Chain A
Amino acid sequence: MIELEDVVKRFPGSAHPAVDRLSLNVAQGEVCVLIGPSGCGKTTTMRLVNRLIEPDSGTVRIAGRDVMQTDPVELRRGIGYVIQQVGLFPHWTIAENVATVPRLLGWAADRTTQRVHELLTLVGIDPATAGQRYPRELSGGQKQRVGVARALAADPPVMLMDEPFGALDPITRKRMQDEFLRILRSLSKTIVFVTHDIDEAIKMGDRVAIMKDGALLQYASPERILAHPADAFVDEFVGADRALKRLALLECRSAMQPAGATLPAESIAAEASLRDALALMLQTNTDAVAVIAHGAPAGVLTLADVRGASRDDGAAASRAVGSSGT
Chain B
Amino acid sequence: MLLEAWHFVLERPDRFIAALATHLALSAAALGLAAAIAIPLGIRIASRERAALAVIGAANIGRTLPSLAVLALAMPLLGTGFAPSLFALTLLALPPVLLNTYAGIRHVDEDVIDAARGMGMSARQILGKVQLPIAMPVIFAGLRTAAVQVISGAVLAAYIGGGGLGDFITAGIAMMAVPQLLVGAIPATALAIGTDQLFGYLQRRMTPAGLAERAA
Contact = CB atoms under 8 A, between A and B. Distances in A.
Interface of A: 50, 52, 72-79, 81, 83, 85-93, 100-101, 104, 134-136, 147, 150-151, 160
Contacts of A151: 119
A301 to B, nearest CB: 47
A139 to B, nearest CB: 16
Given A87-B114, A87-B115, A73 B210 contact: no
A136 B213 contact: yes
A83 B120 contact: no
A52 B121 CA distance: 12
A90 B211 contact: yes
Ordered nearest first, which 8 A-B pairs have the shortest CB separation? A87-B115, A77-B120, A134-B210, A81-B118, A91-B208, A76-B120, A85-B111, A87-B111
A88 B115 contact: yes
Contacts of A73: 120-122
B189 interface: no
Q: How large is the interface on B (under 10, 10 to 19, 20 to 34, 35 or more residues)?
A: 20 to 34
Contacts of A100: 119
A33 B1 CA distance: 82
Contacts of A87: 109, 111-116
B112 A76 contact: no
A86 B120 contact: no
Given A85-B111, A87-B109, A87-B112, A93 B210 contact: yes
A91 B209 CA distance: 6
A135 B118 contact: no
B19 to A, nearest CB: 42
B133 interface: yes
A86 B116 CA distance: 11
Contact of B116 (A78, A89, A136): A89
Contacts of A134: 209-210
Interface in B126-166: 129-130, 133-134
A90 B135 CA distance: 11
B125 interface: yes
Contact of A83 (B115, B121, B130): B115
Given A87-B111, A87-B112, A104-B125, A52 B210 contact: no
B118 A83 contact: yes
